[in-house]
A and B are shown apart, each in its own frame.
Chain A
Amino acid sequence: MGKRIHVTTTINGEPVEFLCEARQSLLEVLRDVLRLTGTKEGCNNGNCGACTVLLNGLPVDSCLVLAVEAEGATIETVEGIACGGHLHPLQQCFLEGAALQCGICTPGFLVAAKALLDKNPNPSERDIRFELAGNICRCTGYDKIVRAVQDAAQRMAASR
C-alpha cells in the first residue's frame, strides 16, 4: 500500500476532500470512501455504464478514472440529480414510464441521459439510442428508457 494522496473536488455542488491510494478508481472512492453508493459497479472495466458520472460536465465511466485524476474536478453523481425535494424530470419520467426493472443500471442511465439533455435538449430517438449505447440494461429492452428520456425532454422544454 502506497502513501495516500489528498484530492480536492466538488461533488454534487459541495466541496469534498478525500484521501486515496494511487490505484483506487473514482468509482471505488465514491462508493467505499465517500459512501456515495448510488453509482453502481457492473463490470469495473468500462463496458456497462452502470458507474457513469459527470466529470466536469462530461459523462465518464468512473471505474476507468483514477480517483487522483479528479483533483480540482467537478463531479456529478446520481445523488445530485434531484434538486431539493423534487425529482428531476428524468427521474419522474423513468418512474412514470416504468423505465426500470431491477434498477441497477438506472443511476448510470439517468446520469448519461442528463448529459445528453444538457447538450441536446431535443434529441431524436436515434440520438438517444446512440448516446445511451454505452449503458447496458439487461432488463428493459431499452424501449421504456428511450421513451422516458423523450418524455423528460418534452417536459423540460415545456417548462422553459
Chain B
Amino acid sequence: MATIDQPRSETAGKQYKVLGTRPIRHDGADKVTGRAIYTNDMQLTGMLHGRILRSPHAHARIKSIDTSAAEALPGVLAVCTGADFPDVKDKIAELGEGAVNLAHLSANVMAHDKVLYKGHAVAAVAAKSPHIAEEALKLIRVEYEVLPHVLWVLDAMKDDAPLLHDNVYTEELGGKQSDKPSNIAKHLHFEQGNVEEGFAQADIVIEREFKTATVHQGYIEPHVSVALWNQDNRLTIWTATQGSFTARQQTAEVLQIPVSNVTVVPCEIGGGFGGKISIYLEPVAAILSRKSGRPVKIVMSRAEVFEGTGPTPATFIRVKLGATRDGKLVAAQAYLAYEAGGFPGGVIGPGCMCVFSCYDIPNAVVDGYDVCVNKPKTQAYRAPGATQAAFACETVIDEIAEKLGIDPIEFRLKNAAKEGTRRVDGPVYPRVGFIETLEAARNSDHYQSELTGPYRGRGVASGFWFNVGLKSAASASVNPDGTVTLVEGSTDIGGTRTTVAMQLAETLGIAAEDVIPRVEDTDGVGYTDVTGGSRVTYATGLAAYHCGLDIIAQMKERAAILWDCEPDQVEFADGTFTGPGQSATFKELARRLLETGGGIVGRASVDGGGATNGFGTHIVDVEVDPETGKVTILRYTAVQDAGKAVHPSYVEGQMQGGAVQGIGWALNEEYYYDADGRMRNASMLDYRMPTAYDLPNIETIIVEVPNPKHPYGVRGVGETPIVPPPAAIANAIYRAVGVRMRELPMQPHKVWKAINSQE
C-alpha cells in the first residue's frame, strides 16, 4: 500500500517521530481478549431489564393505552408510556452532525399521541428478566386509529398526501413559512453565477433522474443503555453513544432536568457511523429506573435497530450538467428531495452542499427539500447525504466524459475543485488535495492495468466530505516515570485513542506507548462534541497538541527552577529541554517534578471550528453476470487525501470500511416495505450487508496534502470513503454491459432488467 507524500505547504516534508508510524492501539489487548466493557456488558446490582413496545402501524393516532395487566405480572417493576414524559417545547439543539428539535426528539423517543412509523416506541416495561419484560409487553393493550400513510418522498410532497404533522410548515429561505402545514419541512436553495447563461454556453447538456433507497448504518452493536436514577435525583447513564455530552444534553432536555444532574458514561462502542448520536433508550431507561428505584438496562433487538432507529434516507435527485466540447463544466443544476422520516430534519443540508462540491463550476443552482414520510426518523450515516448526491452527480459526470470522449479522470482533473474554488453554498476552499487524489488514481497500478474479458468494466468516481472541527477538551498529567496520562472525551470507535495519543507523544517527543489515553465520562473531562464529522483525530488531536504545549511551558518553568535560570532561557526540541549549560530529556525532567512544586497537568479546550475538506477518488473493476444481473467486484482501489496520516493502518481501515459500506449500499442494501408500511427485511439475513466472501481486498492509496489548519497537517478521513462507491460501481457496470443504472441498490434483478430492456 503506497503512501504518496506531496510536500506542498510548510508542514510538508517535516520529519515526524511518531506520526506516520503504526503502534498497537492502547485498548487493543482488552479488545482481543473480550475484556473491553461495552454497554451491554454492564452489570449492576439489582439491575432490571427493560423492553419497549412498538407500533405495528406506519401511521396512527393512539386512542388509549392500558398497561394494568402488564403492571400486575409478577416480576414487572415499572411500566412507562408517553404520559410519563414531561412536555418539551420546540427548541433546536445542535448535535454536531446536524440539529434536532427537542420536542420531536421527545416524541421520537416515546410516542405521545401519534405513531409516525412502524417501530415507533409507545410503551416500555422493566422487569426482573428480559423474558418477563417481553411477556409483559404482550399484556399492554393499545387502541389505535389507523391513518393513511405515505412512504416515498415524491408522494409525500403531493398536495393531497397524508399529513404527518399538523404543525409543520415549509420553511423557505430567510425563515419564511408556508401558510398551510406540509410534509415538506424545509426548502433549501443555493446558487452562484447564472445557470441559464451557463447552460447556453454548453456544447453538451445532460439531465438525469436518480432514486436511492433507505439504508441503515448497520453497526454490529445494537443500541443499549443502562440508567440509574439514584435516590438523590442524580442520574447516571451508561450508553452506546458517539457523544457523551450530546447524549447528556438530549437526555436532560427530554426529561426536563438540569444537565448537571446527569452523568453520561460512554462505554466502548460497537460502531455508530452517525446512527448513535441521537438518543433513543436513555430517557426511557431513566424513567423506568426512577419508577422502580433500580438500575435498568435496555438492549434493542436487531429488528428494533432497523425499525426504530435512524436509517439514512431514500432520495430522489435530478442533476443537470453542461460542459463545453473541450470538457469544461460551465453550468450545473440539482433538485434533491430527501426523506426526513417521521420527523423533520434529515440530511438534506449536506446533500445540497456536497452535490457539486468536487468541481469548480461557475454557474450552479441547487434546490433541496426535507420531507416527512412514515418511516423512522432518518439520521446521519457516514458523510450524511453526500453518497446519494454523489451517486447522481458522478454518474452524470461519467456520462458527459464518455460522450465527449475524454478519460473520466482527465475530465475530473479539468474541473477539479482547488484552493479558491467557491462551493455552491458559499465557502471558498483553502488548500485541498482533490487534484492530487485524481493524479494518484490515474497513476495507480490499478488504473494503469488492463482490464480484459467479457462483461467487465472499470468505473471511477470521486467524493467529498467536510471535516467539521467542533469542540474538544483534553487534559494530561505527567507521571514520575515520564509517561503521560491523557484524558479525553471522544468515544473511541475506531482507534482514536491512539491517533490522539500519538499527537501528544509527537508534541512531547516521547513514544506513543508512553501516553496512556483514557476516555472519561461527562464529569471527568471538559466539553467534547461527538465522535463524528471526521473530527476526532483532527480536533481532539488539536486539543492533545495544545495540552502538550501547555505541559512543555510548565516544564520549562520547572527546569528553570532546577537550573536557576529564567524559563525563557529554556528551550525544548526533540524531546529534550536545554538551558544554560544544562539539558534534560522529557523523562529525566518528569522524574524531578515532585521536588520542583508538584505534578504537572496540561489542559486544552479547542474549537476546531470549520476544519477543512477531504476528497477521495475510487476505482473499481466489476464483472456482470448477464444471465442473472449479479455484479461481482473484481478489484477496488480507494485513494484519499488524509492531510497527514497519523496512523496509516487506521487511515487505510477507514478507507476500506467506508468503501465496503458504499459497496453494500450500491449493490444490495435497502429497506423493503410492504403496502402497509411495514419493513419486511428487518434482520441481518434479509437486509444483507457485505460479507468477507462478497469482496476482494480493498487497495488504498493515501495522499498527503497537509491541512493548513492543523499543526501536523491532519485531515479527518472517516467519512469521504463511503461517498464514491455507488457511482463508481454504476459507472463500471455501464462500461461492462452498456447500461446506465440510476437507482440504488443495483441488485441483480434491476441490472438484469436493464440489460434485457436495452435496444
Contacts and interface: CB of A to CB of B under 8 A. Distances in A.
Interface of A: 1, 21, 23, 31-32, 35-48, 50, 77-79, 81-82, 87, 91, 94-98, 100-107, 110, 125, 128-130, 132-147
B649 A97 contact: yes
Contacts of B273: 138
7 smallest beta-carbon distances between A and B, as pairs:
A38-B34, A104-B270, A141-B660, A141-B656, A98-B649, A101-B494, A103-B31
Nearest to B38: A104
Contacts of B31: 100, 103, 106
A102 B683 contact: no
B42 to A, nearest CB: 9
Contacts of B692: 128-129, 132-133, 135, 137, 142, 145-146
Contact of A47 (B40, B495, B683): B683
Contact of A146 (B36, B661, B697): B697
A143 B1 CA distance: 12
Contacts of B38: 37, 40, 104
Nearest to B494: A101
Contact of B32 (A91, A132, A138, A144): A91
B693 A133 contact: yes
Contacts of B22: 98
Interface in B640-677: 647, 649-650, 652-653, 656-661
Contact of A110 (B32, B40, B131, B495): B32
Given A79-B34, A91-B32, A104 B650 contact: no
Contact of B698 (A32, A45, A143): A143
A78 B302 contact: no
Interface in B1-57: 22, 24-25, 27-29, 31-38, 40-41, 43
B529 to A, nearest CB: 19
Question: What is the interface of chain B mostly: helix, strand, loop, or mixed?
Answer: loop
B301 A21 contact: no
Nearest to B272: A102
Given A38-B35, A41-B40, A129-B695, A144 B653 contact: yes
B689 interface: yes
Contacts of A128: 692
30 contacts: A1-B129, A31-B40, A37-B40, A40-B40, A41-B299, A42-B302, A44-B302, A48-B302, A77-B34, A78-B32, A78-B34, A79-B33, A87-B33, A95-B28, A102-B268, A102-B271, A103-B27, A103-B270, A110-B32, A130-B693, A133-B692, A135-B692, A138-B219, A138-B273, A141-B698, A143-B652, A143-B656, A143-B697, A146-B697, A147-B697
A40 B270 contact: yes
Interface in B211-264: 217-222
A95 B32 contact: yes
Contacts of A50: 220
Given A40-B38, A139-B657, A141-B656, A100 B32 contact: yes
A142 B32 contact: no
| B: contact size bracket | 35 or more
A144 B649 contact: yes
Contacts of A82: 33
A78 B599 CA distance: 40
Contacts of B269: 102
B449 interface: no
A100 B693 CA distance: 18
A113 to B, nearest CB: 11
Given A138-B271, A138-B273, A143-B698, A42 B35 contact: no
Given A35-B43, A132-B692, A94 B653 contact: no
A40 B222 CA distance: 10
A14 B690 CA distance: 37
A98 B25 CA distance: 8
A140 B653 contact: yes
A138 B220 contact: yes
A96 B28 CA distance: 9
A103 B683 contact: no
A56 B11 CA distance: 57
B684 interface: yes
A97 B495 CA distance: 12
A117 B684 CA distance: 26
Contact of B684 (A37, A98, A136): A136
Given A78-B33, A79-B34, A43 B684 contact: yes
A124 to B, nearest CB: 13
Contacts of A38: 33-35
A108 B565 CA distance: 59
Contacts of A137: 220, 692
A75 B84 CA distance: 45
A37 B297 CA distance: 15
B660 A1 contact: no
Interface centre among A97, A129, A146 (most CB of B within 10 A): A129
B28 to A, nearest CB: 4
B132 interface: yes
Contacts of A23: 131
B204 interface: no
Given A38-B34, A140-B656, A95 B693 contact: no
Nearest to A105: B220
A135 B693 CA distance: 10
A94 B603 CA distance: 33
B493 interface: yes
B657 A138 contact: yes
Interface centre among B41, B652, B691 (most CB of A within 10 A): B691
Contact of A96 (B24, B271, B660): B24
Contacts of A47: 302, 683-685
Contacts of B27: 103
B301 A44 contact: yes
Contacts of B41: 31, 37
Interface centre among A37, A44, A77, A141 (most CB of B within 10 A): A141
A146 B695 CA distance: 11
Given A42-B220, A47-B684, A138-B273, A98 B29 contact: no
B35 to A, nearest CB: 7
Interface string B97-141: 000000000000000000000000000000001011000000000
Contacts of B268: 102-104
Given A41-B40, A139-B271, A102 B656 contact: no
Nearest to A43: B302
Interface centre among B22, B217, B650, B656 (most CB of A within 10 A): B656
A144 B656 contact: yes
Nearest to A80: B34
Given A43-B302, A138-B218, A143-B698, A101 B493 contact: yes
Contacts of A132: 691-693
A140 B494 CA distance: 9
Contacts of B36: 103
B657 A101 contact: yes
B729 to A, nearest CB: 15
B25 A1 contact: no
A147 B217 CA distance: 25
Interface string B466-501: 000000000000000000000000000111000000
